[in-house]
Structure 1
Amino acid sequence: MRPGDEGALDLLLRGRIEVEGRLVDASNATLFCAIGLDGVSAQCVYKPVRGERPLWDFPDGTLAGREVAAYLVSEAAGFGLVPPTVLRPGPFGPGMVQLWVETREDDDLVDIVPVDRVPPGWRSVLRAHDRFGDPAVLVHADHPQVRLMAAFDAVVNNADRKGGHVLHATGGGVYGVDHGICLHADDKLRTVLWGWLGERLPQDAVEALRRLRSGLDGALGGQLHEHLTRAEVRALAERVDKLLAAGVFPEPSAKWPSIPWPAF
Structure 2
Amino acid sequence: MPAPERIPPRSLTSLELLTHGELTVRGRIREASNAVLFCSVTYEGEEASCVYKPVAGERPLWDFPDGTLAEREVAAYEISEALGWRLVPPTVLRDGPYGRGMVQLWIEADGDTEAPGSSLLALVEGDTPGDGWKAVGFADVGEGRTALLVHADDARLRRLAVLDAVINNGDRKGGHLLPAPDGALYAIDHGVTFHTDDKLRTLLWGWAGEPLTAEARTALDTLATALADDGPLLTRLAQLLTPAEVTAVVTRVAAMRRTGRHPVPSGEWPAIPWPPV
The TM-score bracket by the shorter chain reads over 0.9
Is the Cα contact below 8 Å between 2:124 and 2:150 reproduced in 1? no
Quote the offset at 1:133 in angstroms.
4.8
Correspondence for 1:156: 167
Match of 1:78 among 44, 63, 84: 84
**What is the rounded CA distance, in whole Å, between the counterparts of 1:232 and 1:150 in structure 2?**
19
Correspondence for 2:8: none
**What is the rounded CA distance, in whole Å, between the counterparts of 2:122 and 2:141 in structure 1?**
8
Q: Which runs of 5+ in 1 are unaligned?
A: none
**What is the rounded CA distance, in whole Å, between the counterparts of 2:148 and 2:260 in structure 1?**
28
Provide the aligned length of Structure 1 versus Structure 2: 260
Correspondence for 2:135: 124
Correspondence for 2:218: 207
3-state SS, counterpart of residue 94 of structure 1: strand
* More divergent stretch after superposition (116-125 vs 21-30): 116-125
RMSD of the alignment, in Å? 1.7
* More divergent stretch after superposition (214-223 vs 175-184): 214-223
**What is the rounded CA distance, in whole Å, between the counterparts of 2:142 and 2:130 in structure 1?**
21
Correspondence for 2:33: 27
* More divergent stretch after superposition (41-50 vs 101-110): 101-110
Q: Does 1:112 align with 2:125?
A: no
Is the Cα contact below 8 Å between 1:69 and 1:227 reproduced in 2? yes
Correspondence for 1:147: 158
Quote the offset at 1:119 in angstroms.
6.1
1:10-89 correspondence runs (5 A):
10-89=16-95
3-state SS, counterpart of residue 135 of structure 2: strand
Quote the offset at 1:111 in angstroms.
2.5
Deviations 1:198-232 (A, max 9, x none): 11101111111111111112221111011101110
Correspondence for 2:7: none
Quote the offset at 1:131 in angstroms.
4.3
Q: Which runs of 5+ in 2 are unaligned?
A: 1-10
Larger Rg: 2
1:221-260 correspondence runs (5 A):
221-260=234-273
**What is the rounded CA distance, in whole Å, between the counterparts of 2:276 and 2:162 in structure 1?**
19
3-state SS, counterpart of residue 97 of structure 1: strand
* More divergent stretch after superposition (14-23 vs 191-200): 14-23
**What is the rounded CA distance, in whole Å, between the counterparts of 2:218 and 2:39 in structure 1?**
36
TM-score (norm 1): 0.94
Quote the offset at 1:184 in angstroms.
1.0
**What is the rounded CA distance, in whole Å, between the counterparts of 2:70 and 2:136 in structure 1?**
30
TM-score (norm 2): 0.89
Correspondence for 2:184: 173
Match of 1:98 among 95, 104, 107: 104
* More divergent stretch after superposition (129-138 vs 40-49): 129-138
Letter in 2 for 1:242: A
3-state SS, counterpart of residue 53 of structure 2: strand
3-state SS, counterpart of residue 95 of structure 1: strand
Quote the offset at 1:239 in angstroms.
0.2
Is the Cα contact below 8 Å between 2:211 and 2:262 reproduced in 1? yes
Q: Does 1:8 align with 2:18?
A: no
Is the Cα contact below 8 Å between 1:109 and 1:167 reproduced in 2? no
3-state SS, counterpart of residue 221 of structure 1: helix
Quote the offset at 1:80 in angstroms.
1.1
Deviations 1:228-247 (A, max 9, x none): 01110001000000000000
3-state SS, counterpart of residue 226 of structure 1: helix
Correspondence for 2:196: 185
